[in-house]
Amino acid sequence: MIKKYDLIIVGGGIMASSLAYNLRKDGYTGSIVVFEKDRMYEYSSTPRCYGGFRQTFSIPGNIQMSKLSLQVLKNFEKEMALDDEPAVIDFKQHGYLYLANEQALSLLKENMKVQKSYDVNVQLLTPEETKSLVPELNVDDLAGAVFDVEGGNADPYSVLQWYVRHAKRLGVEYVYEKVQALLTDGLHQVKGVKLETGAEYHAPIVVNAAGAWSGEISKTMGVDIPVRPYRKQVYCVDLAVPFKTDIPFVFDYLGTYFQGEGLKVIIGSREGSNETEQQDYSFNFDFTLDRSYFNEEVWPLLAERSPNFDQLKLETGWAGLYEYNYIDHNAIIGKHPDMNGYYLLTGFSGHGFQQAPAAGKALSELIRLGKYETIDLTPFSITRFAENQLLLESEVY
């Protein structure tokens, strides 16, 4: 059985759904089908993500994507309302605070010049000013901090669901089946996909938005892309002594990050022994929480930063996967140069939630018009690896 469509998207997460929605919204009239293997999104990255957004990057393209996405998220509740139901996404702007020693601060200051040239509201703080923003912090070791005033959090699962609802309403079909292989004509033209059920769907355009699984699925048609799964953990703790205010999203140069209100704090760590990058595409992942890693590696760093972390209870937490571009840790967006009709929307390496609104919009333009209009994402093309034009972003964690 072969079904024909104009455009196929593999993966039904936030990237795929932002793209599908933007295509339709901007007037694409061809038929679109999205394949999602995990109907409840149990292991997908989007619902396992923090939902943090910030504009403090070092590369213009990342800043531009985050700026555009912020505008979308800011207006989401109103713009994406359906049948008078507001599109609630728990949008909060409590800021992003980067705590730095001398070495970290000099890099952050360099990046601030680029950020300010794009009108990002970013401030340099002395240790004393940092302490007055969050009085519970120990600032003795700090040379200063950088505050991204407009940064914050939203609920990624809600954003995803609103995109899905809109896309479906605009006629995009979602099929909850696993794509087993991408198909080609045997030469250099993508042909469609084969499902695990054996069914084939053909289309002249196939977009790989399969997140952490995108490297694995691309390999089925012999096209290697540098994206692998990378396991990351999130810890949710209750504090015996709460922070007095809704603290910003704090990035500590010591290696942790945390955000929360009162007793409840969410914590992550930048790296560590069990935050493992997979060396192949296999998926024998353990999605449960490694509590001993928190106790031994993360908690001591937190306690160094604030006495409020001295007494805490690790309530819960989870592991999820980054769709990790292991070469330069940035998105891979656009046409594949060696396979006609094959487009990539992957590799966001830990900042995909906040870039999905912009990336989906930009790729929809490239597909519909053959060029970018709103923001130029040409530097994010996969051709950069062969051309040695890597995107060396210093603010990815």
**Residues engaged in binding ligand FAD (CB under 6 A):** 10-16, 35-38, 41, 44-46, 48-52, 178-179, 209-213, 217, 232, 234, 320-323, 346, 348, 350-354
Using the minimum distance from each CB to ligand FAD, give the nearer residue, 184 or 354: 354
What token pair was written down for 388? 């040695």
Burial (CB < 10 A; 0-12, 13-18, 19+), residue 285, is middle
Q: Could you give the residue ranges of the DSSP H alpha helices within the chain?
A: 14-25, 60-74, 76-79, 102-117, 127-133, 156-169, 214-219, 291-293, 299-305, 352-369, 383-386
Q: How far lies 135's CA from each of 105, 127, 244, 393, in Å? A: 20, 11, 9, 31
Using the minimum distance from each CB to ligand FAD, give the nearer residue, 341 or 352: 352
d(CA 38, CA 50): 20
Using the minimum distance from each CB to ligand FAD, give the nearer residue, 118 or 124: 118
CB of residue 394 to ligand FAD, shortest distance in Å: 17
* 160 conformational bin, left if phi > 0, alpha if psi -120 to 50, beta if neither: alpha
Using the minimum distance from each CB to ligand FAD, give the nearer residue, 143 or 212: 212
DSSP sequence for 217-285: HHHTTT---SEEEEEEEEEEEEESS--SS-EEEEEETTSEEEEEETTEEEEEES--TTSPBPSSS----
Contacts of 210 (CB under 8 A, 6+ apart): 10, 11, 179, 216, 217, 346
CB of residue 342 to ligand FAD, shortest distance in Å: 15
CB of residue 349 to ligand FAD, shortest distance in Å: 7
CB of residue 320 to ligand FAD, shortest distance in Å: 3
Contact between 59 and 68 under an 8 Å Cβ cutoff? The reply is no
Using the minimum distance from each CB to ligand FAD, give the nearer residue, 209 or 265: 209
Using the minimum distance from each CB to ligand FAD, give the nearer residue, 36 or 148: 36
CB of residue 179 to ligand FAD, shortest distance in Å: 4
Using the minimum distance from each CB to ligand FAD, give the nearer residue, 13 or 61: 13
Using the minimum distance from each CB to ligand FAD, give the nearer residue, 19 or 134: 19
Using the minimum distance from each CB to ligand FAD, give the nearer residue, 248 or 352: 352
Contacts of 42 (CB under 8 A, 6+ apart): none
CB of residue 241 to ligand FAD, shortest distance in Å: 26
CB of residue 20 to ligand FAD, shortest distance in Å: 11
CB of residue 87 to ligand FAD, shortest distance in Å: 18
CB of residue 220 to ligand FAD, shortest distance in Å: 9
CB of residue 255 to ligand FAD, shortest distance in Å: 15
SS (H, E, C) 96-135: EEEEECHHHHHHHHHHHHHHHHCCCCEEEECHHHHHHHCC
Q: How many CB atoms lie within 10 A of CB 191?
A: 19
Using the minimum distance from each CB to ligand FAD, give the nearer residue, 129 or 173: 173
Q: How far lies 76's CA from each of 62, 155, 230, 360, in Å? A: 20, 12, 30, 15
AA identity, residue 72? V
